[in-house]
Structure 1
Amino acid sequence: MLALLGPAVVWAADEGAYFSELPVVASVSRLPQRLADAPTAVTVIDRDMIRASGSRTLNDLFRLVPGFQTHPHTTEPARVSYHGLNDEDYSPRVQVLIDGRSMYSPLFGNGVNWATLPVALDDIERIEVVRGTNGVSYGSNAFLGVINIITIDPALTRGFSVSASHGSQNVRDQGLRLGGRIGEVGDFRLTYRQLNDDALADRGDWIDNFRSRLVDLRADIAIDDRNALQLNAGRAEAVTGVGRLNLTGGSRPDNPIRGLHQSDTYGQLIWRHVASPSADFQLRYAYVVDRSNDAFNFVFTTIPPQTFYINQSGDEGVRHELEFLNNLQFASAGRFSWGGSWRDDSMRSAWVLPTQGTVHRETARVFGNWEAKPAHWLTTNVGLAGENDSLAGFLWSPRLSANFHVNTENTVRVGYSRAHRTGSIYDYRADYRLTVKSGGTTVYDRYPYSADRNLRPESMDTWELGYLGNWRQWHASLDVRLFHEKVTDRLYTIDRNADSALVPGLTTPIQDVRIRGIEYQFKWQPFEPTRLILSQTFTDIESDYLASALAYPNGTLSRPTDYSNIEQLTERSTPRRATSLLWMQALPYKLQFSLAGYWQDKMKWSQNSWSAKYRRFDARLAYPFRLGSVGGELAYVVQSLNGAHGEYKTFDGSGSDPDGTGRIVDRRQWLSLRLDF
């Protein structure tokens, strides 16, 4: 992987090509396309960027992508958002795919549980991040963006590899990987990975911890020269600390300190068939079971005492998905990608879906994308998808774009698209209430939530103007996106239990939102051993309340403080300015050095708190080696090199943190060793 030139080691030979010729991506229209032909902006994170970032967890990587924000695992799940609107757990507005399989879960709010994402960083070949909506290709909930994770071909991972990391804050990670042949017809890769740390510093009424385990198998089999099978299967488990402490230090009876146990068990089979040099298709089936459990007993000191078994995060979500995709190429009419899918999501929960048993949701979808080149200076893309959801109804998602190639190095793109985001099974069907009586008298009666079965989805119309420059003689590229995104009927969960009025909360449209701004990513390789990647985003959000939301009696929007906080939660849900810089440098004596810097304005992840403006620097120094037939790498990583800072819930609206409950990211460092046999 490394080539020796004198005393210095440079990056892999194909990395120069990475800057001299823009990569081919397939995540936008489901067709392999040059970035200059794609209908929206795409950022590609390659294996060298993953390694150089120093990240241990997948969500941490997206700090490098323009417009993306993330925060680490705490007593609340990690989130990854693009252009804000991030108040909900599990990030339900950004679609995440692993080898084509959606990570959206019916159990986890129709979003992504980053704690159990079933992929190891070392197994990722590249990540294609679609910066903009893509409901045409991936369904209604590919709302603000798409993260498509492609894992490495098992043929490239033959042999045995073992790795371990040991460092501060109880970082204790281990990994094993075995790759080999399947007779004369294929290859397999089997990975075990375990992560462990104490998460963020304990500086409030909570105790953080995180651990996870993953077993993942991928097998590729070539049946003949026209047919191939890909099998993915495995299980990911995670335990995160949740709950709160009393002022005296003991657990709160209504929310005790406990572990939230989560798991993701999955299997996927893909059949690919090449019908002719100009036509191919694939058929994909995926099966996923998600489980969650943070149960505890809540004892009311009534006469006689009453005990309630509470499991707010349980119980189980199951997904069956079948998808067909066909790619066609015509001599004069361009290329066409079309297909259809059927999905059955089900969820059961004794706590939020009492007496309902297993609730099912079926979604059927057809989609198509057409790329045409009527002139050498013009590429057009037209897409359309129709989706029928048994809970949300029927939805259309169109897209139209034109790429004007000024010359071989400069392209201007203009595009429009419409997307939708539907609520989760919870939003449409949940209904739960806790009532306690003593001597025939009601002493506690809380009705947290009652779903709206006629909930209408969010809609978003996006206009964008893009520029893509690829200057080969300078080993540089520039990707600029100017965007205007209008969200209609932005969904929010309103607490209508104010003033002791027994009126349940519900999820409902509350605002129309306008998101405007500009973002860019600049890549430059000024010298053979040096790579620089600079990203920056400037964003402005405005919102208007819907009259229907303001009319709800005794709701949070009837309280002036909450009215203002929710408005700010929307308009400051992304920093007005955010910058990232990644510097990768090959040094003498085979050493590799990288430094990542992040600068971010203040923003809001939650209604009643802020995330402070911060700077963060991560550094990595690695030494790849070979001793006879054994290769490997020794690396030292420091995160938050410049010291402690806040990234999530770090101060209130006054700018202070009076009770010391902010989530503080402190300096973390570890030593890693990998041996390849």
Structure 2
Amino acid sequence: MTTIPSFFKYGALSILLTGLPLQVHAQDNTPFSSIPGDQGLLDDAEFSSNLEGDYDFVLEEPMPEVLTTTKLRQPKSRVPGTTTIIQGELIRQLGIRSLVEVFRLVPGMTVARVGSNKPVTSYHGTVAYDQRRLQVQIDGRTAYQPNLAGVEWQAMPVGLENIERIEISRGPNAAAYGINAFLGTINIITKSPAVTDGVNLRTSFGTGGYKTAYGSVGNVSDSYQWRLAYKRRQDDGFDSQIENDEEIPFHDGYAFNLVTYDAIKPLRGGDNVEIRLGYIEGVDEEDRFKTGDFQTQPDIDVDDYYIQARWNIVDSEQHFLHIQTSFQDYHHDQDWRWCPEDFDYCFTTNQDIEESRLEFELQDTYIFSQDIRLVSGMGYREDRVESDTYFNGKESNYQFRAFGNLEYTPIHWLTFNFGGNWETTTNIDKNFFSPRVAANIQLAENHTLRFVYSEAVRIPSTFEQNADWGYRMHNVQPADQYGTLEGQRFLEGVATYENRDPFDEERIISREISYFGQKRLGMGLLSLEVKYFHDHIRDVVSGLLSPEDWNLDNNVALDQQGFEVETSVEFRDTQLRATYAYMDQDGEYRGDAQTPPLTFDEKQKFIDLESRLTVEHSGSVAWIQSYPLDLTSATAFYWADSLKRNQFQRLDFRLAKAFHQPRFSYDLAFIMQHYLDDEPPQSEDNIIDDRNQFYVEAGLRF
């Protein structure tokens, strides 16, 4: 097992391998309005130009500001909870290849791959296949799929090239975002069209069939700003898997095409309308041995789109609001041919599903004074799903909520935040209120101590609550003998989801004590954030989701405590960044008594199912450096100890050179990833033949 000292050993090694000092700002210190929820103080062009401009010096920038935690734009000294800010520039300069890999930079977050190369991430562990306890948004639009409780990271409709920043609220955030913001919130914020005019082309390729191609074109004028972008991404997945004690090829790649259109139409009085459209299609490969030893590969054909519109209204310098609506449709087709063992017939079946979500939100911000600020609003969401396999038809769910947060500073060294969200849903015929109370004490200039109390709930997904699982047989052969099976459902009613009481909601009570501070170090700036947390999670829904063995129930209680550290040191040409997290998790089985009684091992299995992404020690170290002649380098080390099978440790290196001409610019980069362990951390099937992976990037802008 890797110990804490080994973390520093490899971290020091990664620093030494980097060489010397690139200018990257992991935390944006500029006020912003392009982030959903707080408009009117700066227009998008002004905000983004501030970001793109040459920083005179990092020490001259004000304290980092955050929006996601309360939907109010707040300096970190007033935010009611720890929030990590990952700049898009940091993502690109570290050579991160996929969106889910970004979260290795966040203390307390775990990243893994399950099944046929399905990426998953979690904050403070729990779950594995179904990411049920994180709220994920893109530009204020909900991105997780509520009916099957999933997040399709590989098919996420956003390119890394378009990301401005990502804010991760590390702790329950139902007070701002409602049910399912249970353990935290991820808010992905894309670049404004106002700063992406012209043509931008990028491509990359490397080990394992990895290829990407990106192109965007845009224009900026006083009357209209727009960007049209295309992204192609594909990967062959892991090299091989274990089947019947033999190593065989793994069919687990993917290939997606994404087209997005973003526009801003300025109106009178500082108002504007934002329009976002997107379409993604492709194939997500599934290996036939992972799901039942089928005759054909059960690949998933993806066909998704979204439409979003938002009206930002500026009433005065003290009062502004927005009205937002969006519609998303997820259409996934998955079929295969199967010849069941011990039977002499074959048939085709599927797991096709179509999900849609319609959302409305009204949000109002009023600044009474510098010491009293209020954000409030209401939202409506309608989820629909159609699947013959999972639901034997159609299901729907409706949610309505009202939310608010009052920031009050009675004296200059003390700030209170009082927030709450009231919500009702048809999935559980109840009303829920999720409060949050926080006190931020300014110990000295740029040094703040926080005390945070919050509660949150997670309602079971539509599939957990209302599943009617069965597979319908089509094209049964030989038809002359088994034609009567055509159109029949099998495995129907086998599982115990029939004739049972509805699940209750999961509940969490979280307490946090945290510190955030900044300090000058000669010609540099040190930022440090430390968090201690203690979470009580009750009525956790745990068990197996299988048509043959369905034993879900509100049967597990978890107590989690630990601490997390995030720190950075920034100089003009150098940035050092490090994170560390420690968590201790205690679980207890609290299910109903059964006949015959469950054994200790059977009870422990329910607890273990909610610990598959739980890591005791984890962290990251990064060094980014710039040199003369527009040459830059970056090194990062990521590690996670006690991750199910063993540990995860990887070193990343990136070397890049930029070239500037009067009418265009271009850049080239070389990336190497080195895995320090031979054994796959999450599954024995995730086999990589070569621990050294190589990639090349090239970009052109004019």
| Length-normalised TM-score, structure 2 | 0.85
Deviation of the 1:164 alpha carbon: 1.2
Are the counterparts in 2 of residues 60 and 71 from structure 1 also a CA contact under 8 Å? no
Q: Which residue of 1 aligns with 2:287?
A: 243
Q: Which amino acid counterpart does residue 669 of structure 2 have in structure 1?
A: A
C-alpha separation between the residues in 1 aligned to 2:589 and 2:56?
49
2:543–2:609: 8 Å Cα contact kept in structure 1? no
Q: Which stretch has the larger CA shift, 514-523 or 433-442?
A: 433-442
The alpha-carbon distance between structure 1 residues 463 and 34, as it changes in their structure 2 partners (threshold 3 A), is same
Contact 2:448 2:516 in 1 (8 A): yes
Distance apart, 1:94 and its partner CA: 1.2
Distance 2:678 2:667 in 1: 29
How far has the Cα of 1:417 moved from its partner?
Answer: 0.4
**Structure 1 counterpart of 2:109:** 68
Matches within 5 A, 1:280-429: 280-300=320-340, 305=345, 307=347, 309-312=348-351, 314-331=352-369, 334-354=372-392, 357-392=393-428, 393-429=430-466
Task: Report how far residue 603 of structure 1 moved.
Answer: 1.9
How far has the Cα of 1:630 moved from its partner?
Answer: 1.3
After superposition, the C-alpha distances for 1:604-642 in whole angstroms (9 at most, x for unaligned) are: 3xxxxx3x2132101111111113311121111112365
Counterpart for residue 234 of structure 1: 278
User: Matches of residues 114-153 of structure 1 in structure 2 within 5 Å?
Assistant: 114-153=153-192
Deviation at 1:98, TM superposition (A): 0.7
**Counterpart in the other structure of 1:621:** 655
Instruction: Verify the 8 A CA contact 1:59 1:79 in the aligned structure 2.
Output: yes
Equivalent AA in structure 2 for residue 66 of structure 1: P
Q: Distance in 2 between matches of 1:345 and 1:273?
A: 28
Distance change in 2, residues 1:218/1:647 (3 Å): farther
* CA shift for structure 1 position 252: 5.7
The TM-score with structure 1 as length reference comes to 0.88
- SS of 1:216's partner is strand
Q: CA deviation at 1:388?
A: 0.3
Classify the secondary structure of the residue corresponding to 1:258.
coil
Question: What amino acid sits opposite 1:383 in the alignment?
Answer: G
Percent identical across equivalent pairs? Answer: 27
Instruction: Give 2:561's aligned amino acid.
Output: R
For residues 144 and 454 of structure 1, what CA distance do their matches in structure 2 show?
23
Quick check: 16-25 or 617-626, which moved more? 16-25
Aligned AA (2:273): L
Counterpart of 2:680? 646
Cα shift at 1:454? 1.8
Tell me, yes or no, if the aligned pair for 1:469 and 1:477 is still in contact at 8 Å: yes
State the alpha-carbon separation in 1 of the partners of residues 470 and 60 from structure 2: 58
1:667 and 2:692 aligned: yes
Aligned to 1:14, the other structure's residue is in SS state coil
1:394 deviates by 1.4
Query: Could you tell me which residue of structure 1 aligns to residue 228 of structure 2?
Result: 190
Q: 3-state SS of the aligned residue for 1:114?
A: coil
CA distance in 1, matches of 2:669, 2:113: 22
Tell me which residue corresponds to 1:268.
Answer: 308
CA contact (8 A) 1:645 1:664 kept: no
Residue 204 and residue 641 in structure 1: after superposition, are their counterparts in 2 closer, same or farther (change >3 A)?
A: closer
Counterpart of 1:100, as a letter, is: G
Cα deviation for residue 244 of structure 1 reads 3.2
How far the C-alpha of 1:304 sits from its partner, in A, is 8.1
Match of 1:491 among 527, 541, 552: 541
Q: Distance in 2 between matches of 1:390 and 1:582?
A: 46
The offset of 1:76, in angstroms, is 4.6
Higher mean displacement: 430-439 or 367-376: 430-439
Take 1:177 and 1:332, find their aligned partners in 2: how far apart are those partners? 41
Q: For 1:185-237, what per-residue CA distance to the aligned partner results, in whole angstroms no more than 9, with x for missing partners? A: 12111110111111112132442212111111110110123311001111123
Q: CA deviation at 1:492?
A: 1.4
Name 2:553's counterpart in structure 1: 508
- The alignment status of 1:577 with 2:622, answered yes or no, reads no
Tell me the amino acid that sits aligned with residue 243 of structure 1: D
Q: Matches of 2:62 and 2:202 in 1, distance apart?
A: 34
The answer on whether the counterparts of 1:21 and 1:472 sit within 8 Å (CA) in structure 2 is no
Is the Cα contact below 8 Å between 1:432 and 1:449 reproduced in 2? no
C-alpha separation in 2, matches of 1:204 and 1:83: 29
Contact (CA 8 Å) 2:417, 2:439: kept in 1 or not?
Answer: yes
Q: Deviations over 1:380-431 (max 9, x none)?
A: 0000111000012211100000000011121100010000111111111111
Q: Tell me the equivalent position of 2:255.
A: 211
Query: 1:435: Cα distance to partner?
Result: 9.7
8 A Cα contact 1:96 1:147, kept in partner: yes
Residue in structure 2 matched with residue 98 of structure 1 by the alignment = 138
CA shift, 1:240, in A, is 2.1
How far apart in 2 are the matches of 1:139 and 1:443? Answer: 37
Cα offset, 1:560, TM superposition: 5.5
Residues 643 and 681, structure 2, Cα contact 8 Å, conserved in 1: no
Q: What's the secondary structure of 1:640's corresponding residue? A: strand
Greater relative contact order, per chain length (Cα 8 Å cut-off, separation 6+): 2
- Seen in structure 2, the aligned counterparts of structure 1 residues 528 and 333 have a Cα distance that, compared at 3 Å, is closer
User: How many angstroms apart in 2 are the aligned matches of 1:225 and 1:73?
Assistant: 51
Compared CA separation, residues 76 and 558, structure 1 to 2 (3 A): farther
Q: 2:512 aligns with which of 459, 464, 477?
A: 464
1:450 matched residue in structure 2 = 497
RMSD over aligned Cα atoms: 2.9
- Tell me, in whole angstroms, the C-alpha distance in 2 between the residues paired with 1:73 and 1:184: 48
CA distance in 2, matches of 1:40, 1:415: 7
Shift in Å, 1:544? 0.9
Q: Identify the residue that residue 501 of structure 1 maps to in structure 2.
A: none
Q: Residue 435 of structure 2 aligns to a residue in which SS?
A: strand
Aligned-partner residue type, residue 162 of structure 1: L
3-state DSSP of counterpart to 2:555: strand
The structure carrying a bigger strand percent of its residues is 1
Instruction: Note the 1:451-600 alignment, pairs <5 A.
Output: 452=500, 454-473=502-521, 474-494=524-544, 505-525=550-570, 527-548=571-592, 551-552=593-594, 558=598, 561-571=601-611, 573-600=613-640
Structure 1 residues 93-102 or 448-457, which shifts more?
A: 448-457
Amino acid at match of 1:218: D
Deviation string for 1:429-452 (max 9, x for gaps)? 111246999899999866246265
> Residue 286 of structure 2 contacts residue 297 of structure 2 at CA under 8 Å; is this kept in 1?
yes
Structure 1 unmatched runs, 5+:
1-6, 499-503, 605-609, 651-660
For the structure 1 residues 643 and 280, does the alpha-carbon distance in structure 2 shift closer, same or farther, using more than 3 Å as the test?
same
Q: Which of the residues 166, 169, 191 maps onto 2:205?
A: 166
Cα pair distance change 1:564/1:149, threshold 3 Å? same
CA offsets per residue over residues 528-554 of structure 1, 9 Å max, x none?
311011100010000111141xx3458
- Amino acid in the other structure paired with 1:173: T
Measured in 2, the distance between the counterparts of 1:496 and 1:116 equals 24
Which residue does the alignment assign to 1:4?
none
Distance, in Å, in 1 between the alignment partners of 2:586 and 2:88 is 37
CA distance in 1, matches of 2:489, 2:115: 34
Unaligned regions of 5+ residues in structure 2, if any?
A: 1-19, 25-52, 244-249, 474-480
Matched position secondary structure for 2:463: helix
Aligned partners of 1:438 and 1:558: how far apart in 2? 41
Decide whether the 8 Å contact of 1:429 with 1:453 is kept in 2. no
The SS at the match of 1:276 is coil
User: 1:9·1:590 contact (CA, 8 Å) conserved in 2?
Assistant: no
2:633 and 2:655 in contact (8 A); partners too: yes
**Which of residues 620, 634, 637 in structure 1 aligns to 2:671?**
637
Letter of the 1:455 partner, please give it.
F
